[in-house]
Amino acid sequence: MTETLWVVGGEQRVQFSKPKEWSQYRRAVVVRVEDGRPERVLEYESPPEHRPDETPSFVFKAATFAGDTAYLCTQTEVLICDLPGFRIRRIISLPCFNDLHHVAPAPDGRLFVAVTGLDAVAELSPAGELLRLVSVLGGSPWDRFSPDLDYRKVPTTKPHQAHPNFIFFLDGRPWVTRFNQRDAVPIDGVPNGRPPFDVGTGEGIHDGHVVGGELFFTTVGGCVVRFDPASGRKTVFDLNTVNEPDEDRPLGWCRGVLPCGDGERAWVGFSRLRYTTLRRNLSWLRHGFRETEHHRERPTRIDLYDLRRLALCRQIDLESAGMGAVFSIHGA
């Protein structure tokens, strides 16, 4: 049977000077992978009224696919699209939207959006109206940011104090991952008997998929972390240990996981590293990597792992479809 996957991310700009992170993507793209072959099926650029005026970045961050609907987000917009045709039904863009990283629908149709630029989560009505904007650090987002600015026009608000980037639901309640704190917390701040998930490993985290009663995260350095929410038991799968003996190249920026079947296998996304990203943000020395500016980097791709045996089963290179960064992976 032919396997179909969808990969969401962006095409990087070709620049001869060091690119700023908030201006490095030239198009937001969705790639369909069918029987191992990647094909671009959607590319998108935000209109002028929804983007900064100077060198804007166009990229799809983490998405949610549900039934016949794809929920995509750019830096400043939520796109609601048909699936699998990707006809855009509706675009939601609010002045508080800056560096969005994920959009997730609740069972009742409300939308929860990780507004990473304001260290917050936006709760929207099914019609796209802002119901509340919740700081993931406590207090109000407006304690640090002005409510009078149109943040769609602001290129970046970095440095972020929390960098929330993925939303998931447990017992019907929304939770959010915090990259800098290496954890996941309830959006309303009320633990309700369940402690935060301390992903740890010393590296920033992404994802938060509930599959088969278990919760899956990724860390940027190349780990998949699995939690049993009932017991709190944590299992860390270090994908760096799967390398061939003579392979000393880093895996890449690890982000995006799609657990398969019973959760014993998983597709994992890797984005090609720029040298500056490698040097500033990741500590590869613990994996024996020798940092050199001329070191050849692995391509942007998705890899299928058997987590029981901790073995690599398959690799699919995405650069032939022009994808330079992966943010999320979805099944058909």
Out of 110-124, 138-152, 191-205, pick the least confident: 191-205
In the structure encoding, which two tokens stand for residue 129, read together?
A: 């109206």
CA separation for the pair 150, 50 (Å, rounded): 9
CA separation for the pair 194, 207 (Å, rounded): 19
Higher-confidence residue: 246 or 269?
Answer: 269
Rounded mean pLDDT, 164-184 = 96
Rounded mean pLDDT, 119-140 = 97
**pLDDT category of residue 284 using cuts at 50, 70 and 90:** very low
Distances (CA, A) of 195 to 133, 137, 140: 23, 16, 22
**pLDDT category of residue 22 using cuts at 50, 70 and 90:** low
pLDDT over 50 (residue 254): yes
The answer to whether 61 touches 22, Cβ cutoff 8 Å, is: no
**pLDDT category of residue 294 using cuts at 50, 70 and 90:** very low
Question: Which of the 8 DSSP states describes residue 99?
Answer: S
Q: What is the pLDDT of residue 283?
A: 46
Cα three-residue angle 103-172-104, rounded to 5 degrees = 5
Residue among 332, 234, 225, 220 nearest 282 (CA): 220
Whether domain 4-331 has CATH 2.120.10.30: yes
Rounded mean pLDDT, 146-172 = 96
Higher-confidence residue: 246 or 288?
Answer: 246
Rounded mean pLDDT, 206-230 = 95
Q: What is the pLDDT of residue 55?
A: 85
- Average predicted confidence (pLDDT) for the chain: 90
Q: What is the pLDDT of residue 28?
A: 98
Q: What percent of the chain has pLDDT over 90?
A: 77
Rounded mean pLDDT, 132-159 = 96
Rounded mean pLDDT, 132-154 = 97
DSSP 26-62: EEEEEEEEETTEEEEEEEE---GGGS-SSS------B
Q: What is the pLDDT of residue 21?
A: 67
**pLDDT category of residue 305 using cuts at 50, 70 and 90:** very high
Burial class (CB in 10 A: 0-12, 13-18, 19+), 77: buried
pLDDT over 90 (residue 131): yes
pLDDT over 60 (residue 292): no
259 forms bridges with which residues in the sheet? 266
CA separation for the pair 329, 62 (Å, rounded): 8
Q: What is the pLDDT of residue 171?
A: 87
Residue 166, C-beta contacts closer than 8 angstroms, at least 6 positions apart: 62, 101, 102, 114, 176, 177, 206, 207, 208
253 forms bridges with which residues in the sheet? 271
Residue 64, C-beta contacts closer than 8 angstroms, at least 6 positions apart: 70, 71, 102, 103, 104, 105
Instruction: Indicate the domain borders of the chain.
Output: 4-331
pLDDT over 90 (residue 158): yes
DSSP 217-268: EEETTTEEEEE-TTT--EEEEEGGGGS-TT--S---EEEEEEEETTTTEEEE
65 forms bridges with which residues in the sheet? 70
The answer to whether 327 touches 220, Cβ cutoff 8 Å, is: no
Question: Which of the 8 DSSP states describes residue 330?
Answer: E
Q: What is the pLDDT of residue 18?
A: 58
